[in-house]
Amino acid sequence: MLKQWLIALLLVVLAIGAAFVYRGMDESSQAKDTSERPASAVNTVLPVTDRVRDEVRAVGSLKALSAVKLTTETSGRVVEINLKSGRQVKQGDLLLRLDDRQARADLGVIEAQLADARRQYERARSLRDRNSISQSLVDELRTAVEVSEAQRTAAKVRLENHRIEAPFSGAAGLSNISIGAYITAGTTITTLDSTSSMELNFSIPERFLGQIHPGQKVQGRSPAYPEQVFSGELVELGSRIDELSRSLPVRALIDNADGRLRPGQFMSVSLTLRERQALVIPEQAVMVRGSEQYVFVAEDGVARRVSVTLGSRMPGRVEIAQGLTVEDLVVVTGQDRLSSGDRIRVLDDENAIPSNRFIQSVES
């Protein structure tokens, strides 16, 4: 029995010894590997102080500054038409004319009656001066003149209603009217939109209420023209906050001199709140672990981990609010394999960072 216990004890001692020997060999191997680990190749950049813009992003829709449906005020047959979809017209241009021969004849009759009424009135006035007729007859003839003048005015309006002219300069819409067609009063012949400048209507979250005012720059993008930016400025603020969306409706004017934008079109909007100077680095340099955001900086051939506080993000870059200075060499490639204290070898590679233009944005 004692012999068995001695054998068991011996085996335990041998196992413990073997474990200590293995651990020592492993630590020695690790130390050897660490001492022989080559320096990591990285690229670095210096933070830059650049002009950036604080922006609010939203979506909106376009509306013409002036927009009408042109309708006829009288019935008649079309004898002249100058409508072409999308064509720019000037204020006063004749767009459509109805057969106005009857209206002209009616006006001629009324003008003749007016001329006769005036002659009778003038003759009565001269006779009244000699007390040859009563004053009541003179007054009656003067009333006849006034009635004829009113009838002439009405006849002129009826004649003018046979012509449809552009009330303002703009772009004519589609029309289904043809020469010779008989149309009734109230028929829509086309639409007319003033599109040299466009109204852009969108909403701003109420938390930005204290930072917006008329005159601020606005940029719009349309899916129809993804490479083009349309510029304008904020012109009007709504008077009430929407209780459901907690946002303020606003209106901007967008330049549309080339006429590419159309009423009703969807646009993504960026409203510039302010422009300022800020310290920025490439976004690819920033590492995230949990709630911590950090970068690596190069110091005498060694990587040092630095926690940073980020500001607003931009396409390709990010603002550094705290943690870095303009003299810190920030690692932008290879940092995902680094630990603080690792040896590094800085490469000179101009293509390590994509070339972009950067604009700060505050997501709404």
Rounded average pLDDT over 254-274? 89
Residue type, 12: V
Structural tokens at position 320 = 């550094």
**295-350 pLDDT per residue, tens:** 999 988 899 999 998 887 777 888 888 889 888 899 998 888 888 888 888 887 66
Q: pLDDT grade, residue 358 (50/70/90)?
A: very low
Give the integer Cα–Cα distance in Å for 213 and 234. 7
Give the integer Cα–Cα distance in Å for 23 and 214. 73
| pLDDT value at residue 364 | 38
Q: Are 200 and 60 in contact (CB under 8 A)?
A: yes
> Does pLDDT of 363 surpass 50?
no
Q: Are 219 and 230 in contact (CB under 8 A)?
A: yes
| pLDDT value at residue 115 | 92
HSE (CB half, 13 Å, CA atoms) of 208?
22
Name the segment(s) of the chain with CATH classification 2.40.50.100: 74-98+162-186
Given this structure, which CATH class describes domain 37-53+277-352? mainly beta
pTM > 0.85: no
**205-259 pLDDT per residue, tens:** 999 998 899 999 999 999 999 889 999 999 999 999 999 999 999 999 999 988 8
Q: Are 234 and 164 in contact (CB under 8 A)?
A: no
Name the segment(s) of the chain with CATH classification 1.10.287.470: 100-161
**133-181 pLDDT per residue, tens:** 788 888 888 899 999 999 999 999 999 999 999 999 988 998 989 999 9
| pLDDT value at residue 7 | 62
Give the integer Cα–Cα distance in Å for 7 and 33. 39
| pLDDT value at residue 31 | 46
What's domain 100-161's superfamily in CATH? Answer: Helix hairpin bin (1.10.287.470)
Given this structure, which CATH class describes domain 74-98+162-186? mainly beta
What's domain 56-64+194-274's superfamily in CATH? Answer: Efflux pump adaptor protein, beta barrel domain (2.40.30.170)
Q: What are phi and psi of 109, to 5 degrees?
A: -60, -45
> Does pLDDT of 21 surpass 70?
no
| pLDDT value at residue 87 | 86
> Does pLDDT of 42 surpass 70?
yes
Structural tokens at position 173 = 């819409």
> Does pLDDT of 6 surpass 60?
no
Name the segment(s) of the chain with CATH classification 2.40.420.20: 37-53+277-352
Rounded average pLDDT over 267-296? 89
**67-103 pLDDT per residue, tens:** 999 999 999 999 999 988 888 899 999 999 999 999 9
| pLDDT value at residue 37 | 65
Q: pLDDT grade, residue 121 (50/70/90)?
A: confident
Rounded average pLDDT over 14-20? 61
